[in-house]
Amino acid sequence: MAHETRSRTYGPPCGFSKRQVLRAALVAVASPLVSGGFASAAPGGVVKLVALGDSLTAGYNLPQNAAFPSVLEAALKARGHKVEIANAGVSGDTATGGLERVDWSVPDGTDGVILELGANDMLRGTDPDVTRRALDTIIARLTERKIPVMLAGMYAARNLGPDYIRRFDAIYPELAQKHGLVLYPFFLDGVAGEAKLTLPDGLHPSAEGVKLIVERILPAVETFLARLTA
């Protein structure tokens, strides 16, 4: 995320009920990966993931062992998964910025990518169509390399107006449905707006906030891993 200090309030996507959001997530999570020649991770081997994102992934103002990829890796290992997660988060990055670096941020031999981008686009008021195209192209480019993607979504701040909110919030469920991706609808679920779980800027998760993010996203990540090792 950008170094933004304005107050933000988040909620369920405008134009979508909570039930519709959950249904979209469950459809994306439950639907089998469309056959496209993806190479499965070797059974019993280490699954190599890359977390491609912005400062929410990078661990803004946190030690590296408290950043999302490290905490998620530890949680997965504690549950018996053999996994390594590379931190490819860049503070301030937009979806377009992620597209510009995806080829070198995700090396050959990667088994899967957790894609978390778009928060800075929203904070800057970027046209949602620009964000959508960039994310869509990232997914398509990784698909061409036979690297599956899990999508971590974002909601627009509720003070950005109903039209912007509707267009931005639709990006993630629609891309997940289009590409048959595992979707976690809102990366900051349970953390956004909670002072005790964020840094003083009110935007970035604290170490405790990251722990809650990992706790909540874990089932979706395990579904993603099951696809990779199927």
Catalytic residues: 55, 201, 204
Q: Please give the sequence-ordered ranges of beta strands (E in DSSP) within 131-172, or none if there are none.
A: 149-152
What are the φ and ψ backbone dihedral angles of 97, each rounded to 5 degrees?
A: -65, -40
**HEC-encoded secondary structure of 98-126:** HHHHHHHHCCCCCCEEEEECCHHHHHCCC
12 CA to centre of own chain: 16
67 CA to centre of own chain: 14
| Residue pair 123/93 in contact by the 8 Å Cβ criterion | no
Alpha carbon distance 28, 54 (integer Å)? 23
| Residue pair 76/221 in contact by the 8 Å Cβ criterion | yes
Beta bridge partners of 48: 84
